[in-house]
């Protein structure tokens, strides 16, 4: 009976170690996926997309610059005004 207690303690340690290794492996995969996604979003700068950089517009509410392709547009008085988000667009409309 006394031989079982050390074995159970060792099994608990091994189970905890296995769980820690699994969580570490999962976090590593998650970090690689996140970093790969970030690398893809910045890869356009390396492939000669300077035309996209030239197509930047400024949000009149917060002053941030956004790509014309991703900006929200509002036509007012024959002019097109671009916004970075619906929040800024609504703030502009309500002011």
User: How confident is the model over 75-89, as pLDDT tens digits?
Assistant: 988 999 999 999 999
User: How confident is the model over 39-74, as pLDDT tens digits?
Assistant: 665 555 555 555 545 688 999 999 999 888 889 999
- For residues 21-29, average pLDDT: 95
Rounded to an integer, what distance in angstroms lies between the CA atom of residue 28 and that of residue 46? 26
* Average pLDDT in the chain: 83
| Terminal-to-terminal C-alpha distance of the chain | 79
The two structure tokens encoding residue 92: 């502009």
Rounded to an integer, what distance in angstroms lies between the CA atom of residue 58 and that of residue 83? 7
Determine contact, residues 76/60, Cβ cutoff 8 Å: no
Rounded to an integer, what distance in angstroms lies between the CA atom of residue 93 and that of residue 81? 11
- For residues 9-29, average pLDDT: 94
């Amino acid at each position: 009976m006394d031989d079982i207690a050390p074995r159970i303690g060792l099994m608990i340690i091994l189970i905890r170690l296995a769980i820690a290794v699994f969580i570490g492996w999962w976090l590593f995969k998650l970090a690689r996926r996140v970093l790969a996604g970030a690398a893809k979003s910045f890869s356009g700068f390396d492939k000669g997309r300077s035309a996209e950089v030239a197509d930047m517009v400024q949000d009149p509410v917060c002053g941030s610059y956004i790509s014309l392709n991703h900006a929200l547009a509002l036509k007012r008085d024959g002019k097109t005004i671009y916004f970075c988000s619906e929040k800024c667009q609504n703030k502009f409309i309500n002011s």
